[in-house]
Amino acid sequence: MIEAQAITKQLGGRAVVSDVSFRCEPGTITGFLGPNGAGKSTTMRMLVGLSEPDRGEATIFGGRYRDLPNPGRRVGVLLDASAQHPGRRGREALAVSAHMMGVPAKRVSTLLELVGLDETAGRRRVGKYSLGMRQRLGLAHALLGDPEVLILDEPANGLDPEGMRWMRELLRSFAERGGTVLLSSHLLAEVEAVADRMMIIGDGRIQVQGTRAELLTEAGTIVEAADLATLDAVFHRAGLTTHAVDGDRRLVEAEPEVVARLALANDVVLRRLAPAESAGLERLFFDLTTPGGSAPSPNADSIHPELTGATA
């Protein structure tokens, strides 16, 4: 169980993390979403004692991380897959940590196999690894101590689509066994596919958090009509915020039933009416994490499918 209570951190005179609070419960996967530089990594470093919050408290199992006697056996941490000595062989990198936390050496082989690094890969020096291989090594490292909690910073970075699916299944099975997972990403799609709960951080603050279902409901409704102009006018009169999607559709920041009643009352024929789900979540993510994007005007410009472009 992970808990952050109003943690705040200033680095170089700038508030990198402000008043961040959340809880991650056993058996769940929490996705930590935000553009690069939003404060995800700093928050995660504060959870594991590599950084000290200026204010607030970060706890794991109800206590401070640095008071855990052998933290590697209870919390698996992957903060940066490239933070490995390039001159050390992959297998040895795991073996050193296994030695340190008192895990039998044969577990190293088990985990190398689990993450799909074969004998040859294990003998190669980490400096020769691709980013995807480092990410796999990092995941093996996080799982080495058979932990109850996983804290993973951008674990999908560098994985191919098949690797991502594999990682999702791995995290799923970890959570189903009662494990607690916190993983971060700057890509909505990566988190949305696996997380039970999500929190979106922008500018060092948690902008929104909730279960996947809650956020999807909040995300609005997709609607399509033959007479878009009339429909826009109806929404405008009702004071609803809308966004254009694919030219002839609208994303309305309201629940489907509200939209349906408005259409009925104004005799507008709808061709399509559906919860916005991920399209709406993308809009939400984009608005919350883009400076000046939090107050979109009605009929704002079309949805940005490329969140990476907006957040880079």
Partner 1 sequence: MSTATLPAPMRVGITGAHRRPALGRLVAVELRKMVDTRAGFWLLVATIAITLVAVIVRLIVGDAADHTFASVLYVGVRPAAFLLPVAGILLVTSEWSQRTGMITFALVPVRSRVLGAKLLASIVLSVAMLLAVVTIVAAAVLVASPGVDGTWSDIVPLIGQSAVYLVSGMIVGVAFGAVLLASTPAIVALYTLPTAWTAVASLSFFADVAPWLDAGRALDPLSLEIFSATQWAHAGTALALWMVVPLLIGLWRITRREIAA
* 70 vs 302, beta carbon nearer partner 1: 70
**Measuring CA to CA, how many Å separate 203 from each of 49, 58, 187, 189?**
22, 19, 16, 20
Closest CA to 38 of 131, 153, 152: 153
* 39 vs 220, beta carbon nearer partner 1: 39
Answer yes or no whether residue 107 interacts with partner 1 by CB under 8 A: yes
Contact residue for partner 1 among 6, 27, 55, 110 (CB under 8 A) = 110
Query: Which of these segments, 82-90, 249-257, 286-294, 298-306, binds partner 1 (CB under 8 A)?
Result: 82-90
Answer yes or no whether residue 128 interacts with partner 1 by CB under 8 A: no
Contact 224, 218 (CB under 8 A): no
Which structure tokens are listed for 280? 């709406």
Contact residue for partner 1 among 57, 119, 146, 257 (CB under 8 A) = 146
Kindly give the pairing relationship between strand 270-275 and strand 221-225: antiparallel
Contact residue for partner 1 among 2, 24, 58, 143 (CB under 8 A) = 143
Query: Which of these segments, 162-170, 231-239, 255-263, 301-309, binds partner 1 (CB under 8 A)?
Result: 162-170
Beta-ladder partners of 211: 197
* 69 vs 239, beta carbon nearer partner 1: 69
Min dist. Cβ of residue 96 to partner 1 (A): 6
Q: Checking phi first, is residue 246 left (phi over 0); if not, alpha (psi -120 to 50) or beta? A: left
Contact residue for partner 1 among 14, 83, 229, 309 (CB under 8 A) = 83
Answer yes or no whether residue 227 interacts with partner 1 by CB under 8 A: no
Contact residue for partner 1 among 86, 160, 233, 265 (CB under 8 A) = 86
242 contact partners, CB below 8 Å, separation of at least 6 = 232, 235, 250, 251, 252, 253, 298, 299, 300
